């Protein structure tokens, strides 16, 4: 019986994780469910899965959830705050931690899971984008195992040799092809991007995702962050990672070998597939996903990304080339710019302009510890807030 903490249980990854677990009650047991403020959904999850612990954002929400669970005769213990998230990731009885909290907020509990030597199911790409050297050192030094949940990285993991140890040349691998749908604005006239609304940006053609990730997909920053994540997961240089726009989202990513072979992982665009793969690895279990119907798909298309249309991609490559704390700066600036767009404060095309301005004003320094990562994040957010303020007051 595999015992789990789910960080971000009420988001799309968390909900899909619980759906897979629901199908295999003999294999998985939920010890802790951690959410932010969706206590209605968390309440229902507690009733169904009966975890020992539930975590919410603050004391007020904790009081409200405790009262509802008490009336329902559910014995789940409710805690709150960032420190509680870390404790849930470190619980001795927990084998695996699904790291599905979006953004910088997920970094500390995800890192705590690695330090505790857990099996980390990584859906929080910011842990590697912000703190790649710190996080990977924690994995190595504490005997943690790291399995990617993002469909692209999971596809690469499945397509690499089973004994891959981080050396492309020794494994006969030439490079990685990271696929991207191109988002909702792949064919939109460049002049029309100025008038894009948050609702349009969040209407992804293939995947059902949260609002922040949907906007990242629309700008293709999501793919840039995934490129940085792939660098750390697989020890691959930026020059060995090619991004390929594939609108159907059927091929989730590919690995090129030196003999001319290209191995790909295909499937319907459903996050339950990589979740089930990582949960049961190295075994295979049912995920509740329909088999891929190649006759229905009929054809597959591929395009090179347009860096004029998607300047966030170029900024992500810049951050990886600069190295050290530059990706953390990129991530912080992007989070604030995206939120400002969702709040109606800035236009869609202002997102990359804000990120570039923050990167231009931020020094590149070495990351030795989590404190260095958090200091970079704090400083970049301050610059981003000032930049956004100047744009909105102009």
Q: Which helix (H) or strand (E) holds 173?
A: strand 173-180
pLDDT tens figures, 106-157: 999 999 999 999 999 999 888 899 999 999 999 999 999 999 999 999 999 9
Can you give the pLDDT at residue 334? 96
Residues of the chain with pLDDT under 50: none
- Dihedral of CA atoms 297, 300, 301, 305 in degrees, nearest 10, equals 100
Dihedral over Cα of 99, 101, 102, 104: its sign: negative
Identical topology for domains 2-148 and 311-393: no
How far apart are the C-alpha atoms of 314 and 310, rounded to whole Å?
8
Dihedral over Cα of 211, 242, 126, 98: its sign: positive
Residue-range domain boundaries for the chain: 2-148, 157-268+293-297, 311-393
Can you give the pLDDT at residue 204? 65
CATH 1.20.1260.10 fits 311-393, yes or no: no
Global pTM reads 0.91
The CATH superfamily holding the domain 2-148 is NAD(P)-binding Rossmann-like Domain (3.40.50.720)
pLDDT tens figures, 380-391: 999 999 999 988
Can you give the pLDDT at residue 300? 93
Number of neighbours of residue 358 by Cβ within 10 angstroms: 27
Phi, psi dihedrals of residue 112, rounded to the nearest 5°: -60, -40
């Amino acid at each position: 019986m595999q015992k789990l903490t789910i960080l971000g249980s009420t988001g799309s990854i968390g909900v899909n994780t619980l759906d897979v677990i629901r199908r295999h009650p003999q294999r998985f047991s939920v010890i802790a469910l951690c959410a932010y403020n969706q206590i209605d959904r968390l309440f229902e999850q507690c009733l169904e899965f009966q975890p020992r612990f539930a975590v919410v954002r603050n004391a007020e929400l904790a009081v409200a959830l405790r009262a509802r669970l008490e009336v329902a005769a559910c014995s789940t213990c409710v805690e709150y705050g960032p420190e509680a998230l870390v404790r849930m990731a470190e619980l001795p009885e927990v084998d695996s931690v699904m790291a599905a909290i979006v953004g910088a907020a997920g970094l500390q509990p995800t890192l705590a899971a690695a330090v505790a030597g857990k099996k980390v199911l990584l859906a929080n790409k910011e842990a590697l984008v912000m703190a790649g050297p710190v996080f990977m050192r924690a994995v190595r030094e504490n005997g943690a195992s790291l399995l990617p949940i993002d469909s692209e990285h999971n596809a690469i993991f499945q397509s690499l040799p089973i004994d891959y140890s981080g050396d492309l040349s020794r494994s006969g691998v030439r490079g990685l092809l990271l696929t991207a749908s191109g988002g909702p604005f792949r064919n939109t006239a460049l002049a029309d991007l100025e008038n894009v609304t948050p609702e349009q940006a969040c209407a992804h053609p293939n995947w059902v995702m949260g609002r922040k990730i949907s906007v990242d997909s629309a700008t293709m920053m999501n793919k840039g962050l995934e490129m940085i994540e792939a660098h750390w997961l697989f020890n691959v240089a930026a020059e060995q990672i090619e991004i390929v726009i594939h609108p159907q989202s059927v091929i989730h990513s590919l690995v090129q070998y030196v003999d001319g072979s290209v191995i790909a992982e295909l499937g319907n665009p459903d996050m339950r597939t990589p979740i089930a793969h990582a949960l049961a690895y190295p075994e295979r279990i049912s995920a509740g996903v329909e088999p891929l119907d190649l006759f229905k798909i009929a054809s597959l298309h591929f395009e090179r990304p347009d860096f004029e249309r998607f300047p966030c991609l170029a900024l992500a490559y810049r951050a990886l080339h600069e190295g050290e704390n530059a990706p953390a700066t990129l991530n912080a600036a992007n989070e604030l710019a995206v939120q400002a767009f969702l709040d109606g404060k800035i236009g869609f095309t202002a997102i990359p302009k804000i990120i570039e301005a923050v990167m231009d004003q931020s020094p590149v320094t070495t990351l030795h510890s989590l404190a260095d990562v958090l200091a970079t994040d704090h400083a970049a957010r301050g610059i981003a807030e000032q930049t956004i303020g100047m744009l909105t007051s102009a």
